[in-house]
Amino acid sequence: MSILKGILFDMDGVLVDSEHFIAEAAIKMFAEQCIYVEPEDFLPFVGTGENRYLGGVAEKYGYTINLERDKTRTYEIYDELVKGKLNPLPGIKEFIARCRSENLKLAVATSADRVKMEINLRELKFSDQTFHATVNGLEVEHKKPHPEVFLKAAEKLGLLPENCLVVEDAVNGIKAAKSAGCKCLAITSSFGKEKLTEADWVIDSFFDVPNEVFNWQ
């Protein structure tokens, strides 16, 4: 029997509305290399981790990316851009509090590198006790839509994937969640409902989470 025991949170677009900041940072990085890109260029790569996020746009413009250098520079710009400006998504702290009151195990499972995860959690002022485990993009070989990040997060929590709910905002993340064998709750912070149809539940706000999200088997 599959009973909910754990929640696996994507980070960007779920815990925090950071997509426009990382896009701005990447645009500035590319501009330093005399490559001028547009915010919409990044949309196909949302949720896939910065390697693909930057690399996919570089390919579009025929730019040979120096991944480590350009990613490091993007994170430096991002760190400066977000200081004092990152806010948790409305209702997410209340949702996390409810999850903890239900005695569920919680994990962050992000395709982003550890440095970005740490910047975000620092700015959001989540305590060290908020999450029982974290998995970042440097800990997995295959990025979303591959399920590895969620499988590893469930393993770190000591749970089976079928006992976990993934909270996502991106199409690639939903595909990863379902491939892992998890249920999925999607929020429309990055994409419209019409793009998120593979999720089990779709919400516009964490204040609107239906009770059935906590009571399935």
Q: Residue 116 has which token pair? A: 């970005």
Q: What are the residues facing 187 on neighbouring strands?
A: 203
- Active-site option among 10, 17, 70, 169: 10
- Active-site option among 12, 17, 70, 169: 12
Strand boundaries in the chain, DSSP class E: 6-9, 105-109, 133-135, 164-168, 183-187, 201-203
> Residue 12 catalytic?
yes
C-alpha to C-alpha distance for 109 and 176, rounded to whole angstroms: 11
Under a CB-based contact definition with an 8 Å cutoff, are residues 152 and 166 in contact?
Answer: no
Contacting residues for 19 by C-beta, under 8 A, at least 6 apart: 12, 13, 46, 189, 190
> Residue 10 catalytic?
yes
Q: Which residues are catalytic?
A: 10, 12
